[in-house]
Structure 1
Amino acid sequence: MLSLILFLLISPAICASDGVYTGGEALPRGAVLLIVDGLGSSYIYPEHMPYSVEGRPLEQAVLFNLSDGARVLDIRAPAPSTVPGHSTIVTGCSVADEILVGIDNATIFDAARRSGYICLALLQRGDFMNLLLEQDGVLFFENNSLSGDPTMGSRGDLPEDVREIMEEWMHAYRFYSSGYSRYNRWGLDAASDMVRRLDRPFLLIVNLGGIDSAGHYRGFDEYIRAVRALDVGLGELVRACRERGVLLIVTADHGMSFKGSRGGHAGENYSNCLESLRIPLIAIGPGVDDVVLGGKWSQADIAPTLLALLGIEGDLAMSDGRSLPIRRTYTLRVELPRPGSVEVRRNGSVIAGESGSSSYTFRGLERGVYDLYLNGHLRSIVLSDDTTVDLRESSSGVVPRWLLGSLLILAINVCGIAVILRLLRR
């Protein structure tokens, strides 16, 4: 009888193992984070109209090769400047600076490396020391200059095949003619080739600097010409990523505003303009929904979104961003106050079902309305982001039925023993 009582008391703990269901498409093999320095979404989004500081309407460029995937209409840089922009993009922190990038577990590179990814970079702008030190291998231009050849840096354990690819592209720069568009094309060509040749999980960050330089030094006409020239190289990169099942995210550190023929973004006349603050965010690849996302979002949301699309769990140390709802599938977690059953249905069809646990994780669920049957009780939810249904708190203050049952059996046995003892005494 004592053994029965002990079994009843400890059996819920035995049953509390996780029930897991995994559906949906495979995760990306890697990711390219393309940061086009100075590219404002006002100049490439048909929903926006760019204006000069004086209020004069400006021309737009059409990038045909960025017409698919997910596009976020209104995402803004907290500070329209290169170093804060790069720092925010890689940390998910809206007040990030180059010091924060050097903190342990603060960047997407730390999270990716813990998950077995190799971290690589092609940096034409924003190559401050802490960002360079986050990479396993990097090609960068000293003094952010278009002149001269790129420099290579790497950790000692960089795989030899990766080192050879990067060295090839370090030497290839001399064969590209001068000019802002060719400067950008080298970066896009190098990224496309690396995507096709890398045979291990990787996170590649690419920063193109030609558009920003064109806006600052040559004015609007050269700026918009350099933007239009991106399309051919972008097309090759998009094709390479699709062929290899690689995620591509295109964004910017800040935009660009124009006063007369002079471009700027951080100065007094420019920093508050939408053209400086509003940046593009376009995602293409496995797990990305074909959606145009409205609402207002922050540059700090890019890092958690990238990690979520790669299936990398765990929070960034200083992030205040949130994952954007642009994924095709999401994760549903169900926490019950005691072991029980969960059934997930959509449009009357059973998607998944598990029993015997108090904690369940269902991955790979498409956005939409689902019916949950929790121990037979119906609860409907709308899934548009990772969601947790936690019923443990709702049961606080209520004695669980399994405990009531155990106490009742214990009481019956105690009463039985008492009756037997009284009979024996007679």
Structure 2
Amino acid sequence: MPKLYICTHTVIVATLFQKYLKYTGGILNFMSYNNFIIIFLLIYFASALASATTEITVNPVDYPRGAVLLIVDGLGSSYIYPEYTPYALDGNIVEKANNSQIMEIASTGARVNLINTAKSPKTDQGHSVIFTGYSKADLEIVSLENATIFDILHNKGFICLGLMEKGDFFEIKNKQDLILFEKSNSIKNPVFNIFAKTHKTQLNSILAIMDNWKNKTNTYFKGTKGVERYILYNQYILEIAKDIVRDLSSSDKPFLLTINVGAADSAGHYTSSTEYAQVIEGLNILDLYNICVNNNIALIITADHGMTFPSLGARGGHASSKYSSAIESKRIPFIIIAPNVKSQVIKETYYQADLAPTLLRVLNIPNNLQYSDGNIIPVIKYVNMQVIADSDTSIELWRGNEKVLSAYNDSEFIFLGLESDNYTMRFYNSSGMHKYNINLNSDRVFDFTAKQKSGKEYTSASKYIRAQSQRTVLAVILILIVIITGLVIIIKLIKE
């Protein structure tokens, strides 16, 4: 319904209402002029808000109730992705890790190749970029307000928990509600501590799980050495993660559990390319994956940086000038499984800073990261589209020869839950029909108002669409107020 029609309609209703009161014996006397004006304005604004936008849900979207972010420290995608072959600095091919489990898990979600763009791909910088979505982030940026995914999720009522063998810098620990971390940075003699920023009753069971595992650290690792101990070092944290996610699955509280397993990085630095590959092969995340999938929880697998070896069988590195420019140090995996994520392999290259805004999009949380320069990777199954015009228009959306939807006679439309795909939009206005070929791989706003000489497309539409949806909610509230006010007046009239 166009806005001009809303105004005219409201004036007509108000005029008729006054005449009705006049001809029913001066009932207007019970109500002051001010009261009448208040009710009139409520009707006016409620009608305007309720009628200004047509909102259509094409497909219901199932958003995950929480997320597990698994950072495999030092895992280069060169060593696990089938498209790549890792090379040593001397030009020889290095062994790949034969971990088919990771690729099988990836086949149920979206798999992307990310590039660590830091000048020196270090652990602190890699984690800082992952958590802030800012390509030049450091720990100082992490410490700032609204800089990290933890800040944004806390603002939305999420619990943020951590299990970290590496990357447990104070600035990161300080953003967690509760974290178990490895203090000694030693696989030979690991020492785990617990840091709780605040006491929350709902975290008591999580604290008990962490404390129980902390107390049996020595027993768990007893009698192991070499590659076996490296593999067990990773598995220790993954076992704790499974217990925590099971516990959280019985609660309605949304959460983010951040995990860092550090054995691959340590193996790359202190053993050889062969043992590095073996440690990756021993990474067993299938149980954690199944728990997440069965409980509507997103699972994200990535790394802070990769690893480069000077030659076959030698020790490796990633941060020094000798290794930092090698693609094996910069290329990292990004695998995401969630109920609203499309199963696909995205061949285009994205960057580490794109992870944070993508994670927030999957969780249906606005990207209010203060410093982020990352983009949303098109991993989701469904997207939203808004169309804005100056006057009444009609919209048809076609996919090939199939008409997906049609909407008529409004100046603003919101379409929720469209499948991510290529479409043809037919836009009808007073000048005729206009066709536009559009690729909906993320939220879009198309502006056809007079201020735009041609249809302008906005590729970051989430905030605008969400604002329009909030207007609809506000309209409903105002309409309810009008109805309740009317009932009170009627009751008063009857009593008098």
Q: What corresponds to 2:268 in structure 1? A: 215
Q: Is the 8 A contact 1:122 1:139 kept in 2?
A: yes
Pairwise mapping of residues 333-348 of structure 1 onto structure 2 (< 5 A)? Answer: 333-338=386-391, 340-347=393-400
Instruction: Find the counterpart in structure 1 of residue 255 from structure 2.
Output: 202
Q: CA deviation at 1:328?
A: 1.5
> Which of 193, 199, 205 is equivalent to 1:156?
199
Q: Structure 2 CA distance, aligned partners of 1:97 and 1:4?
A: 54
- Return 5+ residue gaps in structure 2 as ranges: 12-43, 455-496
**1:223 Cα deviation from its structure 2 partner:** 1.0
Distance 2:266 2:303 in 1: 14
Q: Does 1:326 align with 2:367?
A: no
Query: Any unmatched runs of 5+ in structure 1?
Result: 398-426
1:120-269 correspondence runs (5 A): 120-146=161-187, 147-154=189-196, 155-157=198-200, 159=202, 160-177=204-221, 178=224, 179-198=229-248, 199=251, 200-230=253-283, 233-260=284-311, 261-269=314-322
Deviation at 1:345, TM superposition (A): 4.3
CA RMSD of aligned residues (A): 2.7
2:459 corresponds to 1:384 = no
Q: Which region of structure 1 is more displaced relative to structure 2, 339-348 or 90-99? A: 339-348
Closer, same or farther in 2 for the Cα pair 1:268/1:55, shift >3 Å?
same
Q: Check conservation: 1:344, 1:373, Cα contact below 8 A.
A: yes
Residue identity matched to 1:89: I
Q: 1:208-262 CA distances to partner (integer Å, 9 max, x unpaired)?
A: 11111111111212211111100xx211111111111111111100001112412
2:84 aligned to which of 45, 48, 60: 48
* Partner residue in 1 for 2:8: 7
CA displacement 1:285-328 (0-9 Å, x = unmatched): 21121211112211001101111111111331100100111221
Tell me the number of residue pairs that the alignment of Structure 1 and Structure 2 aligns. Answer: 393
In 2, Cα distance between equivalents of 1:5 and 1:290:
45
Cα distance change, pair 206–4 in 1 and its aligned pair in 2 (3 A): closer
Supply the distance in 2 between the matched residues of 1:65 and 1:42 (Cα, whole angstroms). Answer: 16
Q: Distance in 2 between matches of 1:152 and 1:4?
A: 63
Residue 256 of structure 1 aligns to a residue in which SS? coil
Q: Tell me the alpha carbon deviations over residues 122-141 of structure 1, each in whole angstroms, 9 at most, x when there is no partner.
A: 01101111100111111111
Specify the alignment match of 1:76 in structure 2: 116
Instruction: Measure the CA separation in 2 of the matches of 1:131 and 1:165.
Output: 21
Q: Residue 19 of structure 1 contacts residue 355 of structure 1 at CA under 8 Å; is this kept in 2?
A: no
Alignment partners' CA distance in 1, 2:343 and 2:326? 29
The answer as to whether partners of 2:53 and 2:414 remain within 8 angstroms in 1 is no
Residues 1:378 and 1:167: Cα distance change in structure 2 (over 3 Å): farther
The Cα offsets for residues 31-64 of structure 1, whole Å up to 9 and x where unpaired, read as 1111011111111111111111111111111322
Deviation at 1:343, TM superposition (A): 4.3
Q: Is the contact made by 2:184 and 2:190 (CA closer than 8 Å) also made in structure 1?
A: no
- Between the aligned residues of both structures, percent identity stands at 38
Does the CA-based 8 Å contact 1:34-1:207 persist in structure 2?
yes
Asked if 2 retains the 8 angstrom alpha-carbon contact of 1:77 and 1:254, the reply is no
SS at match of 1:176: helix
The separation in 2 between residues aligned to 1:197 and 1:173, in whole angstroms, is 21
Say whether residues 1:100 and 2:141 are aligned partners: yes
Structure 2: how far apart are the matches of 1:157 and 1:126? 24
- TM-score w.r.t. structure 1 length? 0.85
Tell me how far 1:268 sits from its aligned partner: 1.8
Aligned partner letter, 2:210: M
Contact 2:55 2:416 in 1 (8 A): no
